[in-house]
Chains A and B, each alone.
Chain A
Amino acid sequence: MLAPVIVMLSVGFAAGVCLAAASRFFNVERDWRLDAIASCLSGANCGACGYPGCASFAAAVVKGEVPVNACPGANAAAVEKMAAVMGTEAPAPAEKRAVVLCGGGRKASDRYEYRGPKDCAAMSALMGGVKNCSFGCVGGGSCALVCPTGAINMSESGLPDISAELCIGCGLCVSECPRCLITLKGADERVSVLCSSRDKGPETRKYCSSGCIGCGICVKVCPEGAIAVDDFLASIDSSLCTSCGKCVEKCPVSAISFLKIR
């Protein structure tokens, strides 16, 4: 009866000794700050900070090569925590969110019936694009595929719906969209023109019910004079805009709207 216990005891002891010795010699001294910083990051390894992943970004922060708010995905709370770990005061977070500057989707008429791989580059290259509007979103969903945190999924309206909570502002979708419709907007920019069409008004009117026709009503109605129209497309200067919302009400085709905030 004793034999099994002795055998197991000795083998267990031998294994334990080897493990203990190994854990001493091969002990990797990890800087505690590395783990602390890594825990505040989203861990999506998106590379927007210029480093090949959150682990190397954390190492750079610990070495002091890069300021604490260099990660676009880190919100205010995360930046504060990292600043506390590093012992520096918390600079303003460079929090950015992706926004699609197009309100068409199903509202924009199709040029032809497309049957082929669901990929924006293909859909927008074929004969000038699936939609009659040669500026707007073709709804291929490539941005959704590339998003590391799954913030983008194609909604029923045929447009990518970007969830403000999940989006970490990594910019991968910006470079993916063949028609450059997606831009990163700071937390302070609250109102935006959701259209990129530079066709003349009646032209745009023909193929999209919510495209900007360059009528200029918003320019007149904006108390701060923050809006200007060039090439029949309105654009808002975020430094002047106080997001009063008058332009949103007055726009005849409701091309201007409030952005979803976190």
Chain B
Amino acid sequence: MNKQLKIILAVTAVSAICGLILGAAYNQTREAIAEAERADFLAGLSEVLPPYDNDPDKDAREIKGTTVYEAKIKGKPSGYAAVFSSGKGYGGHIYVLVGMDAEGKVSGVAVLKHKETPGLGDKISGKDFLGVFKGLSEPGLIAVKKDGGIIDQFSGATMSPRAVADAVSRALEFMRDNFISEEKR
């Protein structure tokens, strides 16, 4: 009998100890991780949004299920940003942070999370690719050349840039509809 008991005891004890260690480690690192991720996100925001003097992630608003971060200068809204994702990526979902200035033009794009093939699709997080989106104001035009847009895809990897373009155009369209009043559009 004691052979079986020893097995139960051993597995349970080891698991419990590991649970304890993990719980402690998680608690100890929880704030630090949240802090680091927030800093990361803020860095992404500042890169994407035009200059601002408020805390965009605090002035966030929920519109139709999407959180939109608002950038302000002395109280006057100077830009908006939102996270959009596209499932059309080669490796799966691609999460993109898109920034728009007060006139409804793209002020910056950053790729937050993607699982594209390293060395191939992951060029989408490169500065030169994302720079292409800056200044565009027509959501319809934002697509890869193959699909009639103006964004040029990389050789050997069309799915990743197409997914990013799709996410950016949807984000721009969403923000323009909600924030840019009729006459400026």
Chain A directly contacts chain B within the complex, with at least one CB pair under 8 Å: yes
Chain A residues 54 to 108 lying within 8 A of chain B, measured CB to CB, are: none
Residue of A6, A8, A23 near B3 (CB, 8 A) is A23
> Given A4-B26, A8-B18 in contact, is the A23-B8 Cβ separation under 8 Å?
no
Please, could you name 25 A-B residue pairs with CB atoms under 8 Å apart, sorted by A? A1-B23, A1-B27, A3-B23, A4-B22, A5-B19, A5-B20, A5-B23, A8-B18, A8-B20, A8-B22, A9-B16, A12-B14, A12-B15, A12-B16, A12-B19, A13-B8, A15-B15, A16-B7, A16-B9, A19-B7, A19-B8, A20-B4, A20-B5, A20-B8, A23-B4
The 8 A CB mask of A5-36 against B (1 = contact, 0 = none) is: 11111011101110111011000000000000
Closest CB in chain A relative to B163 CB, distance in Å: 36
Closest CB in chain B relative to A237 CB, distance in Å: 60
Tell me the complex Cα distance, A2–B16, Å.
Answer: 11
Report the nearest B residue to A15, measured CB to CB: B11
Chain B residues 76 to 92 lying within 8 A of chain A, measured CB to CB, are: none
Closest CB in chain A relative to B136 CB, distance in Å: 47
Q: How large is the interface on B (under 10, 10 to 19, 20 to 34, 35 or more residues)?
A: 20 to 34
How many residue pairs, one in A and one in B, have C-beta atoms under 8 Å apart?
A: 59
Tell me the complex Cα distance, A152–B56, Å.
Answer: 77
- Apart from A4-B22, A12-B14, what 19 extra A-B contacts exist at CB < 8 Å? A1-B23, A1-B24, A3-B23, A4-B19, A4-B20, A5-B16, A5-B19, A8-B16, A8-B20, A8-B22, A11-B15, A12-B15, A12-B19, A13-B11, A13-B12, A13-B15, A19-B7, A19-B11, A20-B5
In the assembled complex, B32 has its CB within 8 A of some CB on chain A: no
Residue of A2, A12, A24 near B4 (CB, 8 A) is A24
List, in ascending order, chain A residues with CB within 8 A of B9's CB.
16
